[in-house]
Amino acid sequence: MSAPGQSGGPHLALVDYGMGNRRSVQKAFEHVGAQVTVTRDLEALRAADGLVVPGVGAFPLAMRNLRQLGLDALLRARAAQDTPILGICLGMQLLFERSEEMEPTAGLGLIAGEVRWLDAGELSIPHIGWNEVTFERPSPLTEGLPAPGCPFYHVHSLAGRPADPADIVGTTEYGERFATIVAHGNILGVQFHPEKSSAHGLLMLASFTRMCAGRRDGAAVAPAAVRA
């Protein structure tokens, strides 16, 4: 693997805080041309062109691990530098200000809003399986995906509730309609697992990789075309 700054795809760092399917996310990003390091080393995370926060598990434990490792402050600092950051599943939920899972817990606060239990009605929790995602507005993250949306693979019991509707990129329905793709500037999150979502998931990871390459090379990332 090339070091940051050498030729090749952009260098992404997967934030290793002890939770989540890090290896499968790493392999998926490498498949679309990124150089990937799984690390909790602060210097390596500061040097990366983009950061990915994966995750499977409970929000309070995840935030405790991030704080103990100093990764919460690192993520906020890199967000302030306009570094592209992608949260996946629990990683998306951690981007919000707080969660009600298990006990009220403060999150990273990179996207205004909170994480609450799904109102699934008579449907079973957790929400597991493929579900159609509708794109509510253009985003570089959904560039090249079919309009008005396509299915992705979900596994979760809670969902992020952005305070600003403008931060919602995509929604899906499971008892209620909820945000499953969010974006606030350089901060992006997906509730589903793109690494488990076949060709469409890989296209999304490729789009994030291009965003990181554009930042590394000092080029603006072209916005997605307006969808009908």
Lowest mean pLDDT across 126-135, 149-158, 217-226:
217-226
* Average pLDDT value for the chain: 91
Q: How far is CA 16 from CA 25, 50, 99, 225, in A?
A: 12, 14, 21, 34
Locate tokens 């500061």: which residue? Answer: 46
Catalytic positions are 89, 193, 195
Locate tokens 């691990």: which residue? Answer: 65
Q: Could you read off the pLDDT of 2-53 as tens digits, one per residue?
A: 344 444 799 999 999 998 778 999 999 999 999 999 999 999 999 999 999 9
Give pTM, 2 decimals.
0.91
Buried b (16+ CB within 10 A) or exposed e, 165-180: eebbbbbbebeeebbb
In the chain, where the domains are located = 11-216
The CATH code of domain 11-216 reads 3.40.50.880
Contact status, residue 196 vs residue 148, Cβ threshold 8 Å: no
